[in-house]
Structures are given as structure tokens and as C-alpha cells.
Amino acid sequence: MKNKYSIFSLARNALSYHQRWQTAWRSPEPKKQYDVIIIGGGGHGLATAYYLAKECGITNVAILEKSWIGGGNTGRNTTIVRSNYLWDESAAIYDHAMDLWSDLSQELNYNVMFSPRGLLHLAHSVHDMQEISRRGHSNHLNGIDAEFLNPEQIKKMLPFIELDCRYPVMGGILQKRGGTARHDAVAWGYARAADALGVDIIQNCEVTGFNIRDGAVCGVQTSRGQISAKKVGVVTAGHCSVLAEMAGFRLPIESFPLQAMVSEPVKPIVDCVAMSNGVHAYISQSDKGELVIGASSDTYTSYTQTGGFDVIEETIGAIVELYPLFSRMKMMRQWGGIVDVTVDRSPILSKTPVDNLFFNCGWGTGGFKATPGSGHVFAHSIANGEMHPIAAPFSIDRFHTGGLIDEGAAAAVAH
Amino acid sequence: MFIIECPWCGKRDQSEFSTHGEAHIARPEDPSVLSDEQWGDVLFFRHNPKGQHYERWNHAHGCRRWFNVSRNTASSEIYASYKPGEARPGAGKS
């Protein structure tokens, strides 16, 4: 039984100099057999396992992670949370996540530092203005909050912004429920809560192949031996194509590097998330005080978790143009992750040509925000053997039927 | 970020080039006879290997001509670049 985190446990542990904190999750040896194996110990995989155990009554579950949990894209994103997508299907899944975000810290008994500080999309061209207008009205129809702001209102929110520059600020759209959450805490919170329900989190365990019998998956081969399973869920983001190839099919996905960086910590100055999709400049401030800046993805496919300096230069150029105040900020760290991008920039939550093998991937450049919702509907899909109604439109079949959910064309850029 | 050898201009910085995905995709001779499944495969499904890959590049800020590159997506090492119409070199180093 896990000790509950509270003000009292904090005080109690302070008295023992914080030497007696319970381990947050076990490191068990893999069992021979599981009801469900989740491949990939990122946020989405951990959330899936948690909801399988919590809501679906399936506790004989293992998460297989090739390195350490939350070490991939979960720990590499810019922590942005929002749900103001254009299409009904996207609105449904991202707003489902938003509902879960709102009390996730209480649900997990772990402070995920969800901070709905407001998320502002800036429009720098007529096209941008038309895009936010269309999307904002679509949001209203879906019951998602969206406020249109004029340049004066934006200046009030961000007093240091340069409205009249190379990228003139013509307007903006604000989702007040949007904001940020602490990415590592999301992984750790789900891991701890899933572990408490009996889920085995097995790190340093790389899957090297699938055991498939009569067209159905019956287990996996790993760097730590064979493990059999009744059902397998693959949640491996940038590496989903590699896993699909092991299972004998292809995905409509290509993997690209996506970079981000943080500055030295400074006093609070940016109290919302400001995004300029048109010029690929995304900025917010972490609770530690670092400016968190996201770039656009590189244009070539790669698995290297590094990207080009030209991409960083372009992003920083746009940041400095819009926010000249930051021109002398020092960047502390810069890194890349591998994002799994579909042609319509919408995810894939789907059954596959192999029975009992499910894939949850293709979240591309914006998967963090969906973590709770994605895990929740994917867990129910695996448990029931049929895709959850919110997940169903994201089937891999859409690339053959033509039923694309084209957020890419809607936003005209990565999001 | 890496150096790419344009078959016409020689070695240049990667930022001079634009990339356009997998190479050697044969367009179907008669699209009207394809099933939805086959047509979806042609349009949307690409190889996404972790390792050696053939892809199309364009020297966008140079001679603006197209060519193909054999590159390792796990290490960014470039094995070969060659003109369109030329046979693809063997996987790995030539």
C-alpha cells in the first residue's frame, strides 16, 4: 500500500530529514505472462496502464520501457495543454483530456502542477486571422472556450510584445482553460498510481519482436526474455514504425526531430502560453522561471533526437522579433525528440491487422496535452476489444477510406 | 544538420536543401483501377526506417534541381547522393 502524499506526510518526513520516503514505484522482474502488455513507458503508455487497472479491472498489466520512464517525448516537450482544435473528432479527444487534467493531481495524489494560465495563439497575417476565426467559431460550437482578442488586448496581456514588427500582431485567440503541466510529474504520477494498483513497470526492457500465432499476438520478445500476453498495446511515439515493422505492417507515419530549449531562469514575466504557429515561435515560462521555447520540426526524417541549428535560429529569430526584451537571454539547454507525424496531423488509436494488437501513436508534435484522454480511451479500447467512441474516428482505416481528420491543413502548420 | 553533396553543385550545407520524403515511389500506371486500399497506400503510407533510407532532396537555394540521397536516419550519415533516374546504390556505404 502506498503512503498518501499530503501536508502531513511532508511534515512527518521532514522530521526524519526526508530519508524515509517510500519508493514511488517498484522495479519488479517481468512475469511470464500478463493480461495486457503496454509497450512504451511514456505518459500515454503509463496513463493507459493506470486506467486499465483503475477503471477496467485489469491489473495484471506490464509496461515495458526500453530505457527509463518519461525519458522520451514525455520529458522533452514544452508542456503545453490546450483543446482548441478545429475538427469535432479532435475537439472530443483533446477536451476529454482537458476534463481529466482539471483534477488529475487529486486523482493521482501527485501534484502534476497543471496550470490553466491561458493559452494565446497569435495571428500575424490575414491567413492566420481567418484560421483563428474559423477555429474559434468551431470551438464555440463544440463547447470549448475561445476568446478573440485584438492587438490592444494582447498588449495588455503581454506588455513587452512588439505588435508592429516583421510579424505584425493582428489578433489572437485565447483559451483560458489552456496552460501547462509539469511533464515529468505526469509520468511519475501515473507511474506511481499504476504501480499502486499492481501494474508492473519494467524499465530497461526493449521489445525486439512480437510472437504472433494464427494472426493474433500472443506475446513479445524482449531484451529480458519472452513474455506472453493476451493483448498488447503499442505506445512508442517516434519508434512506432519500427514496432509496426516487427509486427509485419506499415503505418502512415514518418518520424521527425522536434526541438525545444529553455533559457536561464528569470523572474516571472510571461504569465500565459503564447504561440505563433505561423512563424513557429512558442513561448511560456516554467515555474522555475525558465523561458520554455518550442521550435518547428525539422523537415527530414530522423531518429537521432537532435535537430538542425538552422531550425533553432529561425525560432529564436521570431522570438526576438516579437519579444525584443528577450534578445539577451541565455539559453541553458536545447534538445530534440522524435515525433511521429501522420499526414493529417491527427493521431492513430487503432486496432491493427494483427488481432489483439493495438496501436496508439501519431500524436506528432502535440501529444503531451492529450496524455490523460489518450490513455483513458485507449485503456477502454484495449479492455473491450473495440475502440472507444472517442477513439474510433482515429482508426488507421481512415487512410484508406479518406476520412482524414485534417488538423494539419486546418492549422497550415505543425501544432 | 549535415553536409549534402548535390550531384551538380558539390558539397553544400543542408540548409540550402529542401527534402520531399521517400524516393523511388512508382506512380501507378492507371490509378482508376486501384482499390481504395491500394490508393491509400500510394498516397499516405511511407517507409519510415530507423537506419538506411532513400529520399528525395531538392537544392532549393542552389541549382534547384532534384536528386536522391541514401542516408542513415539513425546516425544522419549520408552514404550516397545520385541523380534521378540512376539506379539506387546498395544499402549502406558504397
User: A398-407, pLDDT tens digit by residue?
Assistant: 999 999 999 8
Name the pLDDT band for B92 (thresholds 50, 70, 90): low
Is the CB of residue A397 less than 8 Å from the CB of residue A108? no
Buried b (16+ CB within 10 A) or exposed e, A394-409: bbbbbbbeeebbebbe
Spell out the long-range contacts of A157-164 with Cβ–Cβ below 8 A and sequence spacing 24 or more: A157/A118, A157/A120, A157/A272, A158/A120, A158/A270, A158/A272, A158/A274, A158/A323, A160/A269, A160/A323, A160/A324, A160/A325, A161/A274, A161/A322, A161/A323, A162/A321, A162/A322, A162/A323, A162/A324
Helix (H) or strand (E) holding A234, with range, is strand A225-234
CB atoms closer than 10 angstroms to residue A361: 27
pTM of the model: 0.95
Cα separation of B4 and A397, whole Å? Answer: 37
Nearest alpha carbon to residue B6 among B89, B71, B80: B80
Q: What is the DSSP string of A185-203?
A: HHHHHHHHHHHHTT-EEE-
**CA of B12 to nearest chain A CA: how many angstroms apart?**
14
User: A45-91, pLDDT tens digit by residue?
Assistant: 999 999 999 999 999 999 999 999 999 999 999 999 999 999 999 99
Cβ <8 Å between A252 and B45: yes
**pLDDT for position B90:** 82
User: B32-73, pLDDT tens digit by residue?
Assistant: 999 999 999 999 999 999 999 999 999 999 999 999 999 999
Residue to substitute from A301, A305, A343, interface B, most B β-carbons within 10 A: A301
Which residues touch A98 (CB under 8 Å, ≥6 apart)?
Answer: A81, A82, A83, A177, A373
Handedness of CA A322, A279, A408, A385 (dihedral sign): negative
A383 versus B93: which is more confidently predicted?
A383
Cα separation of B43 and B57, whole Å? Answer: 19
Nearest alpha carbon to residue A371 among A95, A97, A40, A50: A97
**pLDDT for position A15:** 95
Q: Which residues of B touch A252 (CB under 8 A)?
A: 40, 44-46
Name the pLDDT band for A278 (thresholds 50, 70, 90): confident
User: A316-363, pLDDT tens digit by residue?
Assistant: 999 999 999 999 999 999 999 999 999 999 999 999 999 999 999 999
Name the pLDDT band for B1 (thresholds 50, 70, 90): confident
Taking phi over 0 as left and psi of -120 to 50 as alpha, with beta for the rest, A295 belongs to beta
Burial (CB count within 10 angstroms: exposed 0-12, middle 13-18, buried 19+), residue A131: buried
**What is the maximum alpha-carbon separation in chain B?**
43
Please provide residue B90's backbone torsions phi and psi, each rounded to the nearest 5 degrees. -60, 160
Residue to substitute from B48, B52, B57, B71, interface A, most A β-carbons within 10 A: B48
Cβ <8 Å between A402 and B44: no
> What is the total residue count of chain A?
415
Q: Which residues of B touch A302 (CB under 8 A)?
A: 73, 76
Chain mean pLDDT for chain A: 95
Cell of A414: 505543425
**CA of B84 to nearest chain A CA: how many angstroms apart?**
19
Cβ <8 Å between A254 and B48: yes
**What is the maximum alpha-carbon separation in chain A?**
64
Cα separation of A47 and A376, whole Å? Answer: 7
Alpha helices in A354-395 (DSSP H): 371-384
Cα separation of B43 and B25, whole Å? Answer: 10
pLDDT over 90 percentage in chain A: 94
Interface check for A307 against chain B (CB to CB < 8 A): the answer is yes
**A275 beta partners:** A121, A282
- Is the pLDDT at A415 greater than 50? The verdict is no
Cβ <8 Å between A299 and B50: no
- Angstrom distances, CA of residue A242 to CA of A8, A44, A238, A259: 47, 18, 9, 21
Nearest alpha carbon to residue A207 among A344, A30, A15: A30
User: A102-143, pLDDT tens digit by residue?
Assistant: 999 999 999 999 999 999 999 999 999 999 999 999 999 999
**pLDDT for position A305:** 87
- Is the pLDDT at A166 greater than 90? The verdict is yes
Interface check for A304 against chain B (CB to CB < 8 A): the answer is yes
CB atoms closer than 10 angstroms to residue A152: 8
User: A27-47, pLDDT tens digit by residue?
Assistant: 999 999 999 999 999 999 999
Residue reference for cell 513587452: A160
Nearest alpha carbon to residue A55 among A2, A107, A95: A107
Could you tell me which chain B residue has the CA closest to the CA of A255?
B48
Q: Which whole number is the average pLDDT over A270-282?
A: 93
Chain-centroid distance, C-alpha B49:
13
Q: What is the number of H-type helices and E-type strands within chain B?
A: 1, 6
Name the pLDDT band for A251 (thresholds 50, 70, 90): very high
Cell of A11: 511534515
User: A189-198, pLDDT tens digit by residue?
Assistant: 999 999 999 9
**pLDDT for position A378:** 98
Interface check for A160 against chain B (CB to CB < 8 A): the answer is no
Q: Which amino acid is at A6?
A: S
Q: Which whole number is the average pLDDT over B83-89?
A: 92
